[in-house]
């Protein structure tokens, strides 16, 4: 997968300006910034606040409310593992245990370096779980070995 | 290439892709090239038989023949068996329409899903698309609202509120701007009907929302889609562009004086956004904190304007109702649950997928007859119906009919029609703990019973699981649950006790635990 460019305040400003005409533009802006840079730098807060005539607190509040928005650069490879009920019924918690025991991968460990396995709740693949989402691709019937391989793959390409 | 290439269907549905449909499509293309055969590969939606994915179909003189589950490595042998003409092969399932799973259904909303090329407007039209919209354009807004009321359609998001009454309120409100909002924040575990519909027949929801706009006098609409659905997002974005280019929506709907501008907006991983008022806050760009009602969104919704907020499946039912008549829709179903329900069967089940049927089929028929029992082959122990806020039922309770009132009578709920099957390895105290943990993580934080109650609930469950003063802690759990039910602002806090109490009431043996030995951890 391609790495993200470093945060650039000028291009961030252009992204924000390009979306300012939308109704309720905050989330589209945050998504666009995160798509571009892989995260939303705190420097985005005054940009968005000014463009939308909001207080910085309102913008910061929105960023901090949603699980998706990250405020620091993320590992090159993010594996989202579903741990909701339908995947629980198919043993996703055993996958989590197996990842820790056999592969030394702790789920939701944000200090893990260049790959992270993150908990999500439901990817809409409830009949073919356990499921994971990697770089926008959905994977069904995953096990710990497959996820560990995906993490390794992320390392090789980062 | 010859004049008539063989049409081969390989789903582009995310669930099919999750088990290798892309590799199968590529293998078919390259194998056909290698053999000098002329094929047209159509990327359709999924038929909903997810255990058979990737399900490949070929169009023959006698109809479409299904093969599945196909792996890329099976492709050469399929060509050897002349599958392009429907030839015999161990993976050959027969005519798709005659497979038991398909034959048992009454597909109204999902009639085109898996059949057509999802993004082809010509396909959509050829299979009856836009007839409902054309009918609606010949009626007044009030007449459309009356038809939806007469159909008995109730909101498919979970609450089951009559759709026509909601539309009437917005219709009767006077405002400079009204909105149509589609709640596509399908966050309930065990549900995937909205996703399948967007990926398999996106114009249907666009048509349904456009009819709503004409009915109530709205000119702008938003589809609020969860970010966990990147495939559906891509399909919807492309479908909206194509619909605009074809004059189906935009400044003039099918050449009429009605304008309808539609946009998809992505959520950002917050389960609470499935609650309509928090969804509206999110669309406005704010923290998705639940609003107190009243005012109803129908009167003061998005940006304070009258707004129709409906689930994907509610909008998707409308074109059929307009085309075939309200009575034809109302003729399906039972009691006060009219029409059909797209049921999603998942979890530990042998044959999982999507089943659309009139209300009234029993859970047992769905899980045992259609689903074939558990995937693990072990006995069914628990079934959760209606998502993370729905009740856990026992294997002995499965004769209940799928209907809003029948489930409510046993302190369960239909929700968005998701069924999750668990085998006998499930620990119901752990499931109860998870319900509280999920609520603690996903609570918007506005009301205390939900924000604090869920966190206390996790702690109480931890003590019960550790075997600490179990009877006393169960009493605390019941008290806490009652408070959450009675005093929470929305369904998140108000319904979280449903899975907790159902687990406790139906599976008490899992809560009656001996104290953990101190040295264990």
* H or E element that contains B65: strand B63-67
Would the pTM count as exceeding 0.90? yes
- CATH number for region B6-103: 3.40.30.10
Residue B263 clears pLDDT 90, i.e. is over it:
yes
Q: Say which residues have a Cβ less than 8 Å from residue A135's Cβ, sequence separation at least 6.
A: A1, A77
| Domain ranges, ordered by start, for chain B | 6-103, 127-330, 333-423, 428-510
Helix (H) or strand (E) holding B9: strand B6-9
- Please state the length of chain B: 521
Taking domain B428-510, whether its CATH number is 3.60.21.70 is answered by: no
B220 has a pLDDT exceeding 90 = yes
> The tokens of A148 are what?
């560990």
Judge whether A26 and B285 are in contact, CB under 8 Å: yes
> Listing from the earlier edge strand, what are the strands of the sheet with B63-67?
B39-42, B6-9, B56-60, B63-67, B92-95
Nearest to B42 by CA among B10, B1, B4, B85: B10
Measured between CA atoms, how close is B72 to chain A, in angstroms? 16
What CA–CA distance (Å, rounded) separates A130 from B347?
9
Joined tokens for residue B142: 């009030």
pLDDT at A110: 80
Contacts of A137 in chain B (CB under 8 A): 17
In tens, the pLDDT along B443-455 reads 999 999 999 999 9
Average pLDDT rounded to a whole number, residues B449-464:
98
Q: Do A87 and B189 touch (CB under 8 A)?
A: yes
Query: What number is the ipTM of this complex?
Result: 0.96
B333-423 belongs to which CATH class? alpha beta
Nearest-by-CA chain B residue for A90:
B348
pLDDT at B4: 82
| Listed range (B336-340, B445-449, B490-494, B513-517) with the worst mean pLDDT | B513-517
Q: CB distance from B12 to chain A under 8 Å?
A: no
From CA B336, how far away is CA B484, in angstroms rounded? 28
Question: Per-residue pLDDT tens for B264-281?
Answer: 999 999 999 999 999 999
Nearest residue in B to A131, CA atom: B18
The CATH classification number of A77-157 equals 3.40.30.10
In this complex, the residue of A80, A85, A123 whose CB is nearest that of residue B420 is: A85
- For B:235-294, CB contacts with A below 8 A are 265-271, 282-289
Instruction: List the domain boundaries for chain A.
Output: 9-65, 77-157
Task: Choose which CATH entry (3.40.50.2300, 3.40.50.300, 3.30.930.10, 3.40.50.11540) describes domain B127-330.
Answer: 3.40.50.11540
**Alpha carbon of residue B148 to chain centroid:** 21
The kind and range of the H/E element at B503 are helix B497-506
Q: Residue A104 and residue B86: Cα distance in Å, rounded? A: 49
Mean per-residue pLDDT of chain B: 96
Q: What is the largest CA-CA distance in chain B?
A: 78
Residues 127-146, chain B: which have Cβ within 8 Å of A? none
Is residue B391 over pLDDT 90? yes
Residue B228 to residue A131, Cβ atoms within 8 A: no
pLDDT in tens, A21-38: 999 999 999 999 999 999
Instruction: Report residue B303 as tokens.
Output: 């940006």
| CB proximity under 8 Å: B 348-367 to A | 348-349, 352-353
| Mean pLDDT of all residues belonging to chain A | 94
CA distance B307 to chain A (A): 15
The yes-or-no verdict on residue B1 having pLDDT over 50 is no
pLDDT tens by residue, B173-204 = 999 999 999 999 999 999 999 999 999 999 99
Phi/psi zone of residue B467: left (φ > 0), alpha (ψ -120 to 50 degrees), beta? left
Q: How near does any CA of chain B get to the CA of A11, in Å?
A: 21
Q: Report chain A residues whose CB lies below 8 A from the CB of B384.
A: 85
């Amino acid at each position: 997968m391609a790495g993200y460019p470093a945060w650039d305040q000028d291009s961030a400003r252009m992204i924000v300006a390009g979306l300012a005409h939308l109704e309720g533009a905050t989330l589209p802006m945050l998504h666009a910034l995160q798509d571009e840079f892989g995260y939303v730098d705190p420097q985005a807060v005054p940009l968005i606040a000014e463009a939308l005539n909001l207080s910085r607190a309102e913008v910061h509040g929105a960023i901090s409310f949603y699980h998706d928005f990250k405020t620091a650069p993320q590992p090159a490879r993010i594996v989202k593992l579903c741990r909701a009920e339908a995947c629980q019924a198919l043993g996703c918690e055993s996958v989590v245990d197996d990842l820790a025991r056999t592969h030394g991968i702790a789920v939701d460990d944000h200090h893990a370096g260049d790959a992270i396995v993150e908990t999500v709740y439901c990817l809409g693949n409830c009949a073919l779980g356990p499921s994971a989402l990697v770089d926008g691709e959905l994977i069904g019937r995953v096990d710990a070995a497959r996820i560990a391989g995906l993490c390794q793959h992320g390392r090789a390409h980062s | 290439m010859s004049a008539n290439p063989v049409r081969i269907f390989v789903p582009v549905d995310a669930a099919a892709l999750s088990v290798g449909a892309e590799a199968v499509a590529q293998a078919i293309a390259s194998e056909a090239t290698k053999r000098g055969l002329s094929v047209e590969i159509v990327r359709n939606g999924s038929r909903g038989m997810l255990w058979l994915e990737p399900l490949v179909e070929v169009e023959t003189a006698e109809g479409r023949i299904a093969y599945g589950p196909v792996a890329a490595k099976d492709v050469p042998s399929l060509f050897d068996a002349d599958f392009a003409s429907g030839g015999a092969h161990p993976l050959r399932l027969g005519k798709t329409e005659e497979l038991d799973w398909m034959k048992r259904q009454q597909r109204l909303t999902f009639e085109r899903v898996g059949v057509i090329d999802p993004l082809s407007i010509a396909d959509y039209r050829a299979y009856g698309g836009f007839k409902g919209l054309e009918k609606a354009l010949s009626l007044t807004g009030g007449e459309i609202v009356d038809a939806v009321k007469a159909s008995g359609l109730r909101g498919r998001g979970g609450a089951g509120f009559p759709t026509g009454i909601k539309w009437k309120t917005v219709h009767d409100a006077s405002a400079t701007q009204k909105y149509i909002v589609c709640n596509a924040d399908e966050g309930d575990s065990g549900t995937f009907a909205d996703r399948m519909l967007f990926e398999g027949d996106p114009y249907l929801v666009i048509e349904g929302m456009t009819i709503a706009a004409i009915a109530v006098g709205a000119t702008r609409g938003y589809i609020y889609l969860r970010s966990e659905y990147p495939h559906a997002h891509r399909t919807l974005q492309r479908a909206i562009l194509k619909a605009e280019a074809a004059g189906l929506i935009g400044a003039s709907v099918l050449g009429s004086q009605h304008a309808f501008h539609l946009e998809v907006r992505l959520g950002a991983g917050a389960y609470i956004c499935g609650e309509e008022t928090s969804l509206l806050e999110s669309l406005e760009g704010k923290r998705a904190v639940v609003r107190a009602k009243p005012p109803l969104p129908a009167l003061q919704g998005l940006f304070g304007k009258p707004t129709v907020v409906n689930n994907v499946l509610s909008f998707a039912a409308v074109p059929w109702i307009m085309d075939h008549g309200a009575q034809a829709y109302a003729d399906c179903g039972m009691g006060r649950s009219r029409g059909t329900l797209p049921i999603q069967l998942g979890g530990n089940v042998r044959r999982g997928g999507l089943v659309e049927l009139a209300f009234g089929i029993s859970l047992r028929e769905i899980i045992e007859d259609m689903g074939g029992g558990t995937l693990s082959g072990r006995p069914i122990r628990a079934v959760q119906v209606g998502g993370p806020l729905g009740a856990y039922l026992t294997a002995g309770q499965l004769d209940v009919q799928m209907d809003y009132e029948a489930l409510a009578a046993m302190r369960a709920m239909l929700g968005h029609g998701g069924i999750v099957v668990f085998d006998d390895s499930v620990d119901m105290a752990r499931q109860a703990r998870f319900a509280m943990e999920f609520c603690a993580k996903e609570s918007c934080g506005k009301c205390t019973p939900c924000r604090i109650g869920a966190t206390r609930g996790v702690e109480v469950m931890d003590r019960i699981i550790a075997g600490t003063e179990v009877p006393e802690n169960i009493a605390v759990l019941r008290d806490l649950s009652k408070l959450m039910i009675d005093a929470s602002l929305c369904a998140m806090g108000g319904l979280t006790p449903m899975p907790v109490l159902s687990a406790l009431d139906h599976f008490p043996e899992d809560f009656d635990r001996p104290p953990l030995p101190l040295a264990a951890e």
